[in-house]
Structure 1
Amino acid sequence: MKQLKSSDDFILENGECIEGLTIAYHTYGKINAAKDNVVWVCHPLTANSNAFEWWPGLFGENELFNDKDHYIVCANVLGSHYGTTNPLSINPTTGQPYYHTFPQFTIRDIVRVHQLLADFLDITEIAILIGGSIGGQQVLEWTAASTILIGRLIVIGCSAQASPWSIAFNESQRMAIQSDSSFYSSHDLGGMRGLKAARSIALLSYRNYYTYSKTQKETDQQVTDDYKASSYQRYQGDKLGSRFNAYSYWYLTKAMDSHHLSRNRISMQQTLSEIDVETLVIGTPSDLLFPSSEQEYIANNIPNAVYYALDSSYGHDSFLIETVTLTEVIGNFLKQENIQTKELLQIG
């Protein structure tokens, strides 16, 4: 992991200021002489900047996105736990960690941080910009901002605007965190019990009825307590709690809620219609959090977009799991010129 430490104030969309912004990031491979081999990947909610770690099967030394053919960049997002300025960082004004006094930020702020890093790395063109979930929100927002030249977009499992449904899921998770009184005690482990409960809520939106029926079904028909599904929820809560903090989680879900591609722009349809980039939009019909109708809407309104329906029972998490199919679909998209929707739908 590398870090860029800025001496300039970073002014957020709401007018608040972060002094001495730090950006954590990973790069893989080398940029070529033409500077046209940049792949920028935007990570999902609780991931980090090490794309080879959290997206194996798609990113890696021998994968579609590898460090021999591409110069790959992944930045840890503003507010995250993994090296970029976040609620556990020291507030220069007080000399103490921010905790719940961290300034609220938006997807647009996250994208502006990416742009700062791109400028620092002297990147003026991104050949492929890819992201799923909150990463997909960043991909769309960065493209709409028109601050950097982008060759192709790959947008997975997100929407053009946060829906009431996704906001309700996020608010429920924040309520769980806030119900833990330690969240207000201002220490690194504050809100940990609430964070574990929030993760359990989130899992219900990441998967679905069929996923749990397949993976958590009881084999002992006599069991009356401590079910597999129960232990799985507790395990996943503990797992996140061992590597993340409640304050970052709270603020990042707020950032997700802020996503509105046409805010302060004329309209959603016009904003999408002005994205003049060859775009692959991938949705999963079993996704409860971001229903595939939201990805279909994006694809139908970007002039040079094609849509692929990923057939998987794993819901929202499919983009992290079905990497064999994604490799085939994305690889085909990148190889072909003026690909037609009907051709793309035959893949996989």
Structure 2
Amino acid sequence: MEFLLSPREFTMIEHTFHSEEPLVLESGQVLKSYHLAYTTYGLLNPDKSNAIWVVHALTGNSHAAEWWEGLIGDGKFFDPASHFIICVNLLGSSYGSTNPLSVNPDTGQSYFYDFPQLTPRDLAASLEALRIHLHLSQIHTLIGGSLGGQVALEWAVELGKKLKNAVILASTAKTSPWVIGFNEAQRMAIESDPSWGSHTPEAGKKGLETARAIAMLSYRHPGDLKKKQTDTEEKLEDFRAASYLRYQGQKLAKRFNALSYWTLSKTMDSQDLGRNRGGAVAALQCIEARVLAIGVNTDLLFLPEESQFIAENSKRGQYKEITSTAGHDAFLIEFEQLSALLTSFYQE
């Protein structure tokens, strides 16, 4: 499949990649077939050197220009007028790629709770299959944050010289007990929903609302909630912070399903870049690309020192930091700072 550049022809295009090649997972399980929904912006230039591959976070989708509108789009840092931008909905997610609600070819019924365990390395392997399908021999920049950063790191190890730059935002080479604990609390909330265990797309929906509320506490910083959710009048209940968390839970439950959330949160927990590679340092040393690890000074989920570790142990790594009151989600919000950091990185 070829995407060659025509003047001013840089519209968004949605695609689906169908693979009949089995994907052997780290768990030993096998996806006999799968599909990936992906979106492209812009077109490849003649020497195919302008590919920007974006990897979304836990509940993201392939429409990167929507959830990262400050960074991607006409006149933005990654401009489809000059870049070929691709973003894939990760396996397990509920935005078009194979996920727990998809049909299991062995049974003819939806997977539901039989969907296989996935790791960031498995997700990277599926992206590699798509890269080969697209005959994309080089990637200028691979960029991802949080879970997307974990997947990008895994893929960067395998891409070797096919990758020029890797940008890893607010992420980690190995998931900490702190993050696993937050994720487990969220899954416990989903388990407590009486509908969890039923074979319906709505299973665990109310539990997912609670899980998202728990997650939001890790995505934000106490100072940010104080700044934005403090009540100005005296009261005994109906606090702004409480309403905010309930709203965020309901908002996610309307667009995502609990089975995908369950699957991808466990995927995040399983991240260990050094597994079967001699440890994290040895794995990071295998990355041939230039690596920019970006932390957030107020991140309570993936701590800045975890990004520093990535930079310090990559052969061609450097660390930069976003300063924000927003906490973990600053990598999605502080696009002006991010653009400046990227500009500096490319110039160096």
- Secondary structure of the residue aligned to 2:196 is helix
TM superposition shift of 1:273: 2.2
Aligned to 1:288: 300
> Counterparts of 1:1-348 in structure 2 under 5 Å?
1-146=14-159, 149-221=162-234, 223-334=235-346, 336=347, 339=348
Contact kept in structure 2, 1:206 and 1:289, CA below 8 Å: yes
- Secondary structure of the residue aligned to 1:59 is coil
- Secondary structure of the residue aligned to 2:318 is strand
Task: Give the count of matched residue pairs.
Answer: 335
Separation in structure 2 between the aligned mates of residue 110 and residue 269 of structure 1, nearest angstrom: 21
TM superposition shift of 1:285: 1.5
Contact kept in structure 2, 1:28 and 1:71, CA below 8 Å: yes
Separation in structure 1 between the aligned mates of residue 174 and residue 21 of structure 2, nearest angstrom: 31
TM superposition shift of 1:146: 3.3
TM superposition shift of 1:35: 1.0
Contact kept in structure 2, 1:124 and 1:149, CA below 8 Å: yes
- Secondary structure of the residue aligned to 1:22 is strand
AA matched with 2:305: S
AA matched with 1:304: R
Contact kept in structure 2, 1:124 and 1:148, CA below 8 Å: no
- Secondary structure of the residue aligned to 2:166 is strand
Point out 4+ residue stretches in structure 1 off by more than 4 angstroms. Answer: none
TM superposition shift of 1:303: 2.4
CA displacement, residues 206-241 of structure 1 (integer Å, 9 cap, x when unaligned) = 0021011001000112x1111001110100000000
Contact kept in structure 1, 2:100 and 2:113, CA below 8 Å: yes
Separation in structure 2 between the aligned mates of residue 159 and residue 269 of structure 1, nearest angstrom: 12
CA displacement, residues 14-33 of structure 1 (integer Å, 9 cap, x when unaligned) = 22122331110001111111
Separation in structure 1 between the aligned mates of residue 21 and residue 304 of structure 2, nearest angstrom: 41
AA matched with 1:133: S
Aligned to 1:346: none
CA displacement, residues 26-64 of structure 1 (integer Å, 9 cap, x when unaligned) = 011111111111100000110100100110110112211
Contact kept in structure 1, 2:163 and 2:288, CA below 8 Å: no
CA displacement, residues 118-153 of structure 1 (integer Å, 9 cap, x when unaligned) = 111111110011011011101111011236610011
Structure 2: runs of 5 or more not aligned: 1-13
AA matched with 1:201: I
Separation in structure 2 between the aligned mates of residue 148 and residue 10 of structure 1, nearest angstrom: 23
Structure 1: runs of 5 or more not aligned: 340-348
Alpha-carbon RMSD across the aligned residues, in angstroms, is 1.1
TM-score, normalization by structure 1: 0.94
- Secondary structure of the residue aligned to 1:183 is coil
Separation in structure 2 between the aligned mates of residue 303 and residue 120 of structure 1, nearest angstrom: 29
AA matched with 1:253: S
Separation in structure 2 between the aligned mates of residue 189 and residue 147 of structure 1, nearest angstrom: 42
TM superposition shift of 1:251: 0.4
Aligned to 1:342: none
TM superposition shift of 1:332: 2.2
Separation in structure 2 between the aligned mates of residue 145 and residue 57 of structure 1, nearest angstrom: 30
Contact kept in structure 2, 1:126 and 1:148, CA below 8 Å: no
